[in-house]
Structure 1
Amino acid sequence: MESTETKPKRSWLKLFLGLFFTLAIVGAAIGYYFYNQMFGVNLQLKEARVVSIPKNCQSIEQLATLLEEEKIIKNKGSFVFTANQMKYSIKSGKYKIAPSIQNNRHLVRVLRGRQLAVRLTFHNFRIKQQLAGYVGQQIEADSLEVIQLLEDANFLAQFGYTPENVMAAFIPNTYEVYWDCDALTFWKKMLKENKKFWNEERLAKAKKLELSPIEVYILASIVESESQYKPERPKIAGVYLNRLRKKWALGADPTVIFAVGDFSIRRVLESHLLVESPYNTYKYAGLPPGPIYMSSINSIDAVLSPETHQYMFFCAKPPEAGQAPNTHAFAVSHRAHINNARRYQRWIRTQ
């Protein structure tokens, strides 16, 4: 016969085991919930995506909403939970998320890592508004922020530039910046690259010509606009340098087109030469106040290493067999230049 003392013991044992298994099940459920929140599939990417996190994204909740709107995550609540558990601090920037990233924990690790660099390539802008528009499309700073900086005379004066010549700070090339950089960071990056470009050799050549780097750039922008045929640029640079030395007006058609502001002009007329502007190099001797184009490195080096000759004039010439198209005829005297110009005009009339 079972003693009365063993019955309470068994009751307590059953109660303990029941409570234990209940807690185990609840614990397992909670554990599974937490595991699923962090490691469960929450991303819906079929291909790699790039997400941009702006600086005004201040909270995990805002970021989760952004990721959900971009259709990167399915459940923003689980992302918020995981990010908070991992003590994630928001880092603005541009990040690439691969399709292999499927859970919140891995996504947070990606967003904690090194952001993607943005490649900026510019080489054919005429005015700073075009440059600002392009840059504003590539980085977080918008074009208005960039153009305001490039037109701030007091700010630019600290670096030796003016709103008119500021384009000379930009050396055409491909550069890498972070997407979340602001206009000031972008400007400092360009100044650093400009300083790198103007090495001792180039500075020595500019000094020999008695020109500053900005003046070299301005002249190079005219040379660039005159000829797309690179081998001819040192000769054209030599003509303009000869004119500068003799204090002649440069008489450069591209500067007149810039002054008029109609870049569809293909032939400069007498009426165009009457425009009142410091960029009209038929009216005013010396260099214009700033570049008329974003000068290429090739044109800058053409000015720094010009051909030495006596030519004072040049004009377009008719194409000849075996020669590159769109080249020029050069002349020492005005009479020879007029003859070259008439020859070209006669050819034009036959076309």
Structure 2
Amino acid sequence: MYIKKILWAIALIGLVAAGYFAYYVYSAMMTPNTAFNNEEAYIYIKSTDTYKDVRSQLEPLLKDIDKFDALANQKKYVNNIKAGKFAIKKGMSNNDIINSIRSKNIPVKVSFNNQNSLEKLAGRIAKQIEADSTSLVNAMKDQAFYDKNSFKAETALGMYLPNSYEFFWNTSAEKFRDKMLSEYNRYWNKTRVEKAKRIGLSKDEVITLASIVYEESKEPKEQPRIAGVYLNRLKIGMPLQADPTLKFAAYQLPKYKNTVIKRVLNVHKDIKSPYNTYKNTGLPPGLVAMPDLSAIDAVLNYEKHKYLYFAADPKHVGFHKFAKTLSQHNANARAYQKYLSSKGIYK
């Protein structure tokens, strides 16, 4: 009888222990463990992060980090960290959180425009994905990549078409570059390639001209007409005489670093540079800026007309007056120069 009592006592203690253990496991796995009031919070796990790094991000978001540790160990998450952006929703249990940060990498929207060098583009992208600006610049300027895909230093920026794209946050520099090449090739479909051929320009030349058009006007409705002016000049062998190319040439010189040229002067027209389209005929070697897609399409769908000149319209800021003759253009140009002087803009 005494032995039976001992066995019953042991069994009872075992049941209590098992019940406690079951409760602890249930509590660790299934009960809500979030400590924030928003509907969801995000953590960003780098490719080099350890469990300690992940834990430091989670700790302020959870009520009981110790129970999370216990389950993370049991589910072997501590040795199987996944990089990316992950969501933790209000009211999630530890089990839900581990499942989320283990397998539910969330894509991010990456957008850019008006980045007028690969370095500036890399800086912009580095703020939106894990890859840093140095690794991005190195990938973008890789000579083997240039050679394989027929780019050069002067035209490489034209591969990155300004828009919004979807990436995983932990995308590497090389994968970012390669996806942008895919987007570039997708943009240059059969229809656009044929349009470029009809106007006698390569893809690089279209984007180079578009960069000039875009710097001349940010108005999409006016860009096809400006593109038509430059194409008319190219057809007759007339220098483009594009002020944006002079500014670009000037900004390459130490004298003009960290300055903003608001008024193109005769001294700028004397700069020795392949980008000086007052001295050189044809297109410059490459882009002078990152053009919007509207400007690229403006070149491909340029307005057919007989204008050879245009000057900024002082009465409609952002727009231009177009002319077929030099005398008419000179009158338009004088009106704009007078306007600049009235505003105290002399350089």
Work out the percentage of aligned pairs sharing the same amino acid: 37
After TM superposition, list the pairs within 5 Å mapping 1:144-223 onto structure 2: 144-223=134-213
1:292 CA displacement: 1.6
Which residue does the alignment assign to 1:4? none
Q: Do residues 21 (structure 1) and 12 (structure 2) align? A: yes
Match of 2:317 among 325, 340, 347: 325
Which residue does the alignment assign to 2:75? 86
Which residue does the alignment assign to 1:334? 326
Deviations along 1:10-67, whole A, 9 cap, x unmatched? Answer: 1121121122112222222333333333234543222121101111124x44432442
For the structure 1 residues 20 and 344, does the alpha-carbon distance in structure 2 shift closer, same or farther, using more than 3 Å as the test? Answer: closer
Distance 1:264 1:74 in 2: 54
8 A Cα contact 1:317 1:327, kept in partner: yes
Tell me the C-alpha RMSD between the 2 structures: 2.1
For the structure 1 residues 172 and 268, does the alpha-carbon distance in structure 2 shift closer, same or farther, using more than 3 Å as the test? Answer: same
8 A Cα contact 2:108 2:167, kept in partner: yes
What is the SS of the residue equivalent to 2:175?
helix
Distance 2:280 2:9 in 1: 100
1:349 CA displacement: 4.6
Distance 1:66 1:342 in 2: 62
What is the SS of the residue equivalent to 1:267?
coil
- How many positions carry a matched residue from both structures? 334
- Residue ranges of structure 2 left out of the alignment (5+ in a row): none
Distance 1:19 1:114 in 2: 45
Distance 1:345 1:259 in 2: 22
Distance 1:240 1:276 in 2: 21
Match of 2:41 among 44, 49, 74: 49
TM-score for the superposition, normalised by structure 2: 0.89
- Residue ranges of structure 1 left out of the alignment (5+ in a row): 1-9
After TM superposition, list the pairs within 5 Å mapping 1:1-351 onto structure 2: 10-47=1-38, 48-58=40-50, 60-68=51-59, 71-88=60-77, 89-101=80-92, 103-261=93-251, 264-319=260-315, 324-349=316-341
Give the aligned residue type for 1:192: S
1:80 CA displacement: 3.0
8 A Cα contact 2:162 2:293, kept in partner: yes
Moved more, 138-147 or 103-112: 103-112
Distance 2:189 2:86 in 1: 35
1:123 CA displacement: 2.3
1:142 CA displacement: 0.9
Distance 2:105 2:341 in 1: 59
For the structure 1 residues 67 and 332, does the alpha-carbon distance in structure 2 shift closer, same or farther, using more than 3 Å as the test? Answer: same
Moved more, 241-250 or 159-168: 241-250
